[in-house]
Amino acid sequence: MLLLLSLVTGLALSASGVTTDKETDPSHKLFHDIRKKVNDLWQSLFYPVMPGNETDGMIYATCEMKPSSKIDADKPQVTGQVLFRQCHSYGRLEAIFYLDGLPLNNNQSGRAIHIHELGDLSNGCDSTGGHYNPFSVNHPRHPGDFGNFFPKEGKIRKYKTNLFATMFGPYSIMGRSVVIHEQEDDMGKGNNKASLENGNAGKRLACCVIGICNKNLWEEKLSEVTDKKKRGLNKRT
């Protein structure tokens, strides 16, 4: 990014230098064109145009969870949404996990949720590849290692902030997938190779591809998830 910034600055300087004495010089036009291209690239990386040209500075995405076509019919059939919001360009990612279809008992094991590398559902959730791991590190330090979720009455309703993944720039999660697993994530403490790759979280129950959306879903679900939290607090006091 620093390289891009210095390139933009350098081009701007050289282009403005040319303007003063060689207005008709073809090299001026070339500099101008290159500068425009670099600026456009910069803009598209960090300031994507929002749907409906919304200007609240936020980008929103949704992932519509569907049971894997490869999962047995007797396994939980998980549906719902994982929603994302992020302020450009350096805001931290927030997410709402709004999922249904898990067993109704409240003492079941946690369920791991991760971002997987590919948005390919051609073979159910089995074709989404491994964990999205752009920095070649061990699990659970991948950007989409969201940890374990403990359903209540068959539902997951969770709002998380300050997540490590991003929707901007070269490591954007857009177009990749979210996967919910049958089992709990061992968070890299399983003492085997798979633990450092995927947390031994077992079968892939359901998955979805992350796509851009407007803010309506986010606002609708956020108030529901945070209202529930408030009601929970009231109950305890």
Q: Which does 145 bind (CB under 5 to 8 A by kind): Zn ion, Cu ion, none?
A: Zn ion
3-class secondary structure for 45-78?
A: HHCCCCHHHCCCCEEEEEEEEEECCCCCCCCCCC
How many chain residues are in contact with Cu ion, going by CB under 5 A? 2
**From CA 174, how far away is CA 208, in angstroms rounded?**
11
**From CA 15, how far away is CA 98, in angstroms rounded?**
51
By CB under 5 A, the residues from 34 to 53 that bind Zn ion are none
- Nearest approach in angstroms of CB 158 to Zn ion is 18
**From CA 66, how far away is CA 58, in angstroms rounded?**
26
State the binding string over 113-152 for Cu ion (x if CB under 5 A, else -).
Answer: -x--------------------------------------
Which residue among the candidates 35, 181, 185, 186 is catalytic per the annotation? 181
Q: Is the distance from CB of 65 to CB of 149 less than 8 angstroms?
A: no
Q: Is 179 in the site for Cu ion (CB under 5 A)?
A: yes
By CB under 5 A, the residues from 114 to 173 that bind Zn ion are 131, 139, 142, 145
Query: Is residue 181 among the annotated active site residues?
Result: yes
**From CA 142, how far away is CA 84, in angstroms rounded?**
17
Which residue among the candidates 142, 157, 185, 186 is catalytic per the annotation? 142
Q: Is the distance from CB of 195 to CB of 186 less than 8 angstroms?
A: yes
- Nearest approach in angstroms of CB 133 to Zn ion is 7
**From CA 185, how far away is CA 1, in angstroms rounded?**
34
- Compare residues 76 and 140 and give the one whose CB is closer to Zn ion: 140
Query: Is residue 32 among the annotated active site residues?
Result: no
* Nearest residue to Cu ion on Cβ basis: 114
Q: Which does 179 bind (CB under 5 to 8 A by kind): Zn ion, Cu ion, none?
A: Cu ion
Which residue among the candidates 35, 85, 145, 185 is catalytic per the annotation? 145
Q: 171-206 in b/e burial notation, b at 16+ Cβ within 10 A?
A: ebbbebbbbbbbbbbbbbeeeeeebbebbbbeebbb
- Compare residues 156 and 179 and give the one whose CB is closer to Cu ion: 179
| Residues annotated as part of the active site | 114, 116, 131, 139, 142, 145, 181, 204
